Amino acid sequence: MHPAGTTATGPELLIELRRVSGRPLRAQLEECLREAVRSGRLMAGAPLPSSRALARDLGVSRRLVVDAFAQLAAEGYLVTRQGAGTFVAETAAAAPAPVPAPEPRPPRYDFFPGAPDLSAFPRAAWARAVRDVLRELPSHALSYGDPRGAPALRTALAGYLGRARGVVAQPERMVITSGAVQALSLLAAVLVARGTPRIAVEDPSLPDHREAMARRGAEVVPVGVDEEGLRVDALERTGAATAIVTAAHQMPLGVALSVDRRAALLAWGGLVVEDDYDAEFRYDRPPLAALQGLAPEQVAYLGSASKTLAPGLRLGWLVLPADLVHEVAVEKRFSDMGTDVIGQLAMARLIETGAYDRHLRALRRRHRSRRDATVAAVKRHLPGAEVLGIAAGLHANVLLAQPVDVRMFEAACEARSVRVYGSRRRMISLGYANLTEPAIERGVRLLAEAARESRTA
């Protein structure tokens, strides 16, 4: 029996020829191809390998393959197109060619609060970084590497986070993750294994983050937030040994953790996980330095490229207290054996060349303009409404003058091709970063119409 073949050039095709069977090899090849077409393994319009490539792969003469193709073409199973190759005939195939499922039509005005301006992604700089990486990367670097992540990215991030966010970061204390959700999932698994499964989270906070930790066995306990951020007095009553905080810009309410609360949180004494998700975007003043810089052995710092570059990159990072590094790295290893190395090295190159900083400066200006447009549109179309929170981030919270029926409001928005997220009776979150100023104006006007239709007493 000849081993199953996969073609050297052209599309791969699994063919099995049994040389000890006594049947002619051409007859076997014809039978294999007929069966593949009849069963749907080869679908309508599917290309076949060239006769030369298939012959080389199967260890037979090219004449044998040419004759087999000719016979199947005569029977109507295959068609040959001059200069293009050989294909499965549309009329003979059991299964039609695959057609991509239609994607849902996106809303015209999508106020998603979790994405930057995706049109501003630095495509040229990223492509240049990938080309440079692939040109210089030694072959062994494409193998399984350190589960903590590529040393080049950990080193570049340590420098960036130190100068831009005041983080005390050493490369050996970092673990690169596939985004923030995975980072929280890894931490939760370690804490559950240690016997400290109770984790306090801000209320409100992102449902996906709570769900990721709960799925790893954590007991997630909500703690209220007010105008100064997380209520540390309430945290102390939960019995939790770990707290997740968005100190620079609370998600979703938009407040910053006050100086007094920062001190109280560190004095509380438990493990603090600082989700610094959009701290690069403060528009009225420089942001406060990361909490981690005050207590590197008490605070695990979490960041990602989702808000600065694009969520689709799936790049995040943890800067960990010394006693957590090994256990989190082991969890990362058995989770996915490490994050895409080429993406990591491209990110490192952006940081090293200054392209990342240049991108952030341009993005900050653009996002600030869009926040200003949102505030102006709210003032124009939603009389009496108030924009809450600090001038920062990718979204603004709007306190409505009158409450709405949430289901009616969201349905009325969808009817106008407007999408909003996490609405409450008197509050809506408007993500502005990924909409142009004219789109923000039109979207808020339509949203205001929906609010008027769904008001409650």
Give the phi and the psi of residue 218 in degrees, each rounded to 5. -75, 150
- If asked whether residues 123 and 237 sit together in one domain, one would say yes
- What's the pLDDT band for 125 if we cut at 50, 70, 90? very high
Grouping H, G, I as helix, E, B as strand and the rest as coil, residue 253 is: coil
- If asked whether residues 275 and 132 sit together in one domain, one would say yes
CATH for 31: 1.10.10.10
pLDDT at 97 over 80: no
- If asked whether residues 285 and 146 sit together in one domain, one would say yes
Mean pLDDT of 170-175: 98
pLDDT at 381 over 80: yes
- If asked whether residues 296 and 163 sit together in one domain, one would say yes
Residue-number span of the structural domain to which 216 is assigned: 119-353
136 within some domain: yes
Mean pLDDT of 343-359: 98
104 within some domain: no
> Which pLDDT value is given to residue 169?
96
- How many CA atoms does the CB half-sphere of 445 hold within 13 Å? 7
> Which pLDDT value is given to residue 9?
60
- If asked whether residues 236 and 156 sit together in one domain, one would say yes
**pTM beyond 0.85, yes or no:** yes
CATH for 267: 3.40.640.10
> Which pLDDT value is given to residue 5?
46
> Which pLDDT value is given to residue 457?
65
> Which pLDDT value is given to residue 386?
95
Mean pLDDT of 18-37: 92
- If asked whether residues 250 and 301 sit together in one domain, one would say yes
- If asked whether residues 17 and 49 sit together in one domain, one would say yes
pLDDT tens digits along 55-76: 999 999 999 999 999 999 999 9
Contacts of 83 (CB under 8 A, 6+ apart): none
- Domain boundary pick from 313, 337, 353: 353
- If asked whether residues 123 and 66 sit together in one domain, one would say no
> Which pLDDT value is given to residue 91?
85
pLDDT at 12 over 80: yes
> Which pLDDT value is given to residue 1?
40
- What's the pLDDT band for 456 if we cut at 50, 70, 90? confident
- Domain boundary pick from 306, 328, 353: 353
98 within some domain: no
77 within some domain: yes
- If asked whether residues 242 and 126 sit together in one domain, one would say yes
- What's the pLDDT band for 4 if we cut at 50, 70, 90? very low
SS3 of 350-413: HHHHCHHHHHHHHHHHHHHHHHHHHHHHHHHHCCCCEEECCCECCEEEEECCCCECHHHHHHHH
- What's the pLDDT band for 435 if we cut at 50, 70, 90? very high
As a whole number, the mean pLDDT across the chain is 94
- What's the pLDDT band for 216 if we cut at 50, 70, 90? very high
pLDDT at 15 over 60: yes
234 within some domain: yes
- What is the side-by-side strand order in the sheet with 395-399? 386-388, 395-399, 427-431
99 within some domain: no
Mean pLDDT of 84-109: 85
180 within some domain: yes
102 within some domain: no
Grouping H, G, I as helix, E, B as strand and the rest as coil, residue 319 is: strand
pLDDT tens digits along 276-317: 999 999 998 888 899 999 999 999 999 999 999 999 999 999
Name the residue among 27, 1, 29 with its Cα closest to residue 15.
29
> Which pLDDT value is given to residue 439?
98
- If asked whether residues 138 and 58 sit together in one domain, one would say no
Q: Let me know: does 255 contact 389? Beta carbons within 8 Å.
A: yes
- If asked whether residues 137 and 48 sit together in one domain, one would say no
Distances (CA, A) of 420 to 10, 24, 397: 47, 66, 11
Q: What share of the chain has pLDDT > 90, as a percent?
A: 86
CATH for 439: 3.90.1150.10
pLDDT at 236 over 80: yes
pLDDT at 2 over 90: no
Q: What share of the chain has pLDDT > 70, as a percent?
A: 97
- If asked whether residues 139 and 208 sit together in one domain, one would say yes
Domain count, the chain: 3
